[in-house]
């Protein structure tokens, strides 16, 4: 079983839509959780950390459910510039970091 | 820009050859992590170096090895190249614990093995 699993999509949504991405992880001892964004043929860039209490950064909201080993990212009022691949990242013990396969988002005018 | 640089940008090798990829960390960072990203996949953790010592390793065979130098620049070496080694190789530098929220990625080296 993969350490981190994501629906690869693609998600094609109109501008202004709300879209949600989900991610599950297999190691219950995982310590830290993040969402990264990767544009085509570019390096990944940190979007936001994910905390147990949930956290919000503008139009982006991240949630963590440790009991279900589930992470989510919600994007409200989608912009064209949100088109990218969104990667779920889990840190296990021993400084080992695992990325999901990524979920592709295209925002359509 | 993150201040992390990688060289070369692109590289073509044949099966069985050896390759060395280089990474220059952001100033002040003492930790570097290397990842392999195959087409259509997320980055896969290869290993991490902290103050010149390996500090964590993913599920990669021993023919993937690394070095970190006193100036915290780093090399990834891959011996006996296989076709499946074709991928984008990313390095990420960070400070102290190497938590992802402080990792800064370089632009990557795209390796093609023929």
Does B56 have pLDDT greater than 90?
Answer: no
Contact B64, B46 (CB under 8 A): yes
The whole-number pLDDT of residue B95 equals 76
Contact B45, A97 (CB under 8 A): yes
Whether A99 and B106 lie within 8 Å, measured CB to CB: no
Does B18 have pLDDT greater than 70?
Answer: yes
Confidence of residue B5 (pLDDT cuts 50, 70, 90): very high
Does B98 have pLDDT greater than 60?
Answer: no
Beta-bridge mates of residue B18: none
Nearest-Cα distance to chain A for B89, in Å, is 10
The whole-number pLDDT of residue B94 equals 83
Does B34 have pLDDT greater than 70?
Answer: yes
Nearest-Cα distance to chain A for B88, in Å, is 9
Between B113 and B72, the higher pLDDT residue: B113
- Taking residues B1-14, what's their average pLDDT? 91
Per CB-CB distance under 8 Å, the chain B contacts of A36 are 100
Interatomic CA distance for residues B110 and A79, integer angstroms? 30
pLDDT, tens digit, for every residue of A87-98?
999 988 766 788
Per CB-CB distance under 8 Å, the chain B contacts of A94 are 56
Nearest Cα to B41, choosing from A21, A2, A102, A45? A102
Nearest Cα to B64, choosing from B52, B76, B48, B73? B76
Which candidate from A46, A95, A102 shows the least CB-CB separation from B56? Answer: A95
Does B88 have pLDDT greater than 70?
Answer: yes
Whether B45 and A36 lie within 8 Å, measured CB to CB: no
């Amino acid at each position: 079983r993969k350490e981190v699993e994501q629906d690869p999509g693609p998600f094609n949504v109109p501008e202004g839509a709300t879209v949600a991405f989900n991610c599950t992880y297999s190691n219950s001892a995982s310590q830290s959780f993040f969402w990264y964004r990767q544009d085509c043929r570019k390096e990944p860039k940190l979007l936001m950390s994910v905390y147990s209490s949930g956290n919000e950064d503008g139009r982006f909201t991240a949630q963590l459910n440790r009991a279900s080993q589930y992470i989510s990212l919600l994007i409200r009022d989608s912009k064209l510039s949100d088109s990218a691949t969104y990667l779920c990242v889990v840190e296990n013990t021993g400084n080992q970091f695992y990325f999901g396969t990524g979920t592709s988002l295209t925002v359509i005018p | 820009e993150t201040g992390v640089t990688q060289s070369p940008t692109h590289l073509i090798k044949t099966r069985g050859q050896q390759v060395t990829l280089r990474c220059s960390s952001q100033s002040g960072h003492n930790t570097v992590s290397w990842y392999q990203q195959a087409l259509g996949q997320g980055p896969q953790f290869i290993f991490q170096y902290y103050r010149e010592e390996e500090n964590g390793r993913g599920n990669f065979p021993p023919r993937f090895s690394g070095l970190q130098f006193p100036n915290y620049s780093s090399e990834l070496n891959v011996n006996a190249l296989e076709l499946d080694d074709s991928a984008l190789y990313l390095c990420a530098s960070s400070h102290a614990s190497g938590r992802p929220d402080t990792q800064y990625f370089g632009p990557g080296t795209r390796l093609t093995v023929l």
